Amino acid sequence: MSGIPWLRDLDRRWIFLAVALLTIIPLVTGFHIAPVKPGHRAEGFYKAIEDLPAGSTVLLAGDYDPGTIAENYPAHLAAARHLFRRNIKIVAIALYPGGPPLSDQVLSIAAEEYGKKLGVDYVNLGFKSGNELVMSRMGLSIPDTYPVDIRGVPVSEIPVMQGIENYNSLALLVNISAGYPGTKEWVQQVVSRYHIPMVAAVTAVSAPEYYPYLQTKQLHGLLGGMAGAAEYEALLDEPGLAMRGMDAQSLAHVFIALMIILGNIANPPKRDGHRGPA
Amino acid sequence: MKREIPVLITLIAGVFCLIGFFVPHPWVRNGYQDLQNWALILVGLTYVLGVANVLRVNVDGIQNRHKDWIYKIVLVAGLVVMVVIGFAAGDGFLDASSQFSWMYRNFYTPMSATMFSLLAFFIASAAFRAFRIRSTEALLLAIAAFILMIGRVPIGNAIHPIIPASADWLMEVPQNAAKRGILIGAALGVMATGIRLILGIEKTYGSGEGGS
């Protein structure tokens, strides 16, 4: 048998150890490889918020839960900071049951940094089951869909909700999405019907799905995974969780590419005419 | 009648929702709004059914000592403890100082994030053990994967700016074209299925049998 026997029989725990070291060392030591260069998709996200008039209100939909916290949370936090920095009011919701505490955490961190007040500058309306139905129902009336906020306070008593009736009352939809229900459903149910401008921060694996919406301008900006969040942090000039993680991610990507090459050297494939999967 | 009544309800609700999408008249709008409210209530109830089902299946597994029954105890205990603590805290269950928030931050969040992060380890192992370049198609796939993996992180730009530019081209031209085709195909399929449901041709939701 051709190839390299010792490499072919390599215990996969060595691979696990290498991945662990390549991700932990840059995070712990602050070891830096290369600067983050923002792309046009992140610039679109940044510009959409930057162009909003101060005092306007946006819908911040945090449609994810702790399962994808590494990819979604940095973008969520950066977006909340950017919105408060621009003196824009936030109405937060979640279509994932595990999402509202993350929205609460993000909003309270950003609010403290920029001196914003709960109820006056932002509100967390929490989770509502129903997926696309909730999106569609909000088009008729947001206060009817969410009669109380996450703490049980009637929305009629919350200053930031005064004058908020439906999507026409909102300047922008910012969606932080882990999958379903998320960006695709918001575009299909809300953007195409109510024509509200929208930007999204999504997991890297799902990002390709939304490129057609960028081309048609149904999405004004898109942050794909932690890399997208890092580009956004670079634009904000506020290095955060994502930029700190990019060096670890760079090394992990290079290592995986190296593993494909080494795997093929250690155990060369036979070109026997079989046209199965790679 | 057992079949006809569900089909009739589906037909009326489906046609009414279609009309409600296009007609803003208050009569239509109010009815459309009521239908959506009913649907939201029904969806909310499915969560209760889901919890009841999880309890039924797992309690049965524990009682009859099914395979891995010990893990089912952890699942049921976790579910019951979170529900009891959440209800006990009342409206302030999400306050940063609440016990519910403490458990969310210190149990649910790290455990969920751990499951996701394990992917990095398994992808690296699978790349070494399973990704064999045994055909021209596999070679093209490998080249595209290299460009994207390196081009989507800052190290790609540090090596040469052509790498992220190539990654962008791959994503925005061939990938986008394929994805657009899939989206259009899927949308046409959804429309066809919707029409079949409304017209009662597709009855799997009511009978438990295959559609005709």
Tell me the whole-structure pTM to 2 decimals: 0.90
C-alpha span between A201 and A45 (Å, rounded): 9
Q: Which among A116, A36, A27, A17 is positioned nearest to A70, based on CA atoms?
A: A27
For chain A (length 278 residues), average pLDDT per consecutive 10? 80 94 90 88 97 96 94 96 97 94 95 96 94 92 93 94 95 96 95 94 94 94 95 93 90 94 88 52
C-alpha span between A127 and B51 (Å, rounded): 17
Contacts of A148 (CB under 8 A, 6+ apart): A154, A155
**Residue A87 near residue A73, CB atoms below 8 Å:** no
Using DSSP, state whether A74 is helix, strand or coil. helix
| ipTM of predicted assembly, 2 dp | 0.85
Contacts of B169 (CB under 8 A, 6+ apart): none
Residue A54: its pLDDT value, please? 93
**Residue A121 near residue A86, CB atoms below 8 Å:** no
Considering CB atoms only, which of A68, A145, A276 is closest to B116? A68
Using DSSP, state whether B33 is helix, strand or coil. helix
Residue A90: C-alpha distances to residues A96, B104, B130 (Å): 18, 24, 47
Is the alpha carbon torsion for B123, B124, B130, B131 positive or negative? positive
C-alpha span between B101 and B107 (Å, rounded): 10
A34·B155 Cβ contact <8 A: yes
Query: At residue A230, what is the residue type?
Result: A
Residue A33: its pLDDT value, please? 84
B32·A275 Cβ contact <8 A: no
Looking at the complex, does the CB of residue B141 fall below 8 Å from at least one CB of chain A? yes
C-alpha span between B122 and B113 (Å, rounded): 15
Considering CB atoms only, which of B36, B105, B171 is closest to A133? B36
C-alpha span between B45 and B40 (Å, rounded): 9
Looking at the complex, does the CB of residue B32 fall below 8 Å from at least one CB of chain A? yes
**Residue A143 near residue A164, CB atoms below 8 Å:** yes
Token representation of residue A217: 């301008």
Would you list the domain boundaries of chain B? 131-212
A54 vs chain B: nearest CA distance in angstroms? 29
Token representation of residue A157: 């008593």
Cross-strand partners of A73: none
Q: Which among B48, B72, B71 is positioned nearest to B60, based on CA atoms?
A: B72
From chain A, pick out residues whose CB is under 8 angstroms from the CB of B138.
269, 278
**Residue A242 near residue A230, CB atoms below 8 Å:** yes
Question: What does each of the 212 residues of chain B score in pLDDT, given as a tens digit?
Answer: 777 888 888 889 888 888 888 888 888 888 888 888 898 899 889 989 999 999 999 999 999 999 889 999 999 999 999 999 999 988 788 888 889 999 999 999 999 999 988 989 999 999 998 888 989 999 999 999 999 999 999 999 999 999 999 999 999 999 999 999 999 999 999 999 999 988 888 877 766 554 44
C-alpha span between B192 and B211 (Å, rounded): 13
Helix or strand holding residue A124 (H, E): strand A122-127
Tell me which DSSP letter residue A118 carries. Answer: B
Cross-strand partners of A94: A127
- Closest-CA residue in chain B for A261? B128
Residue A8: its pLDDT value, please? 83
Contacts of B55 (CB under 8 A, 6+ apart): B76, B79
The sheet carrying A198-202 orders its strands as A122-127, A89-94, A57-63, A172-177, A198-202, A221-224
Residue A272: its pLDDT value, please? 55
- Four-point Cα dihedral A131, A150, A156, A136, nearest 10: 0
Among left, alpha and beta (phi > 0; psi -120 to 50; other), residue B65 is left
Query: At residue B41, what is the residue type?
Result: I
Token representation of residue B143: 């080249």
Residues in chain A, overall count: 278
**Residue A126 near residue B86, CB atoms below 8 Å:** no
Residue B212: its pLDDT value, please? 40
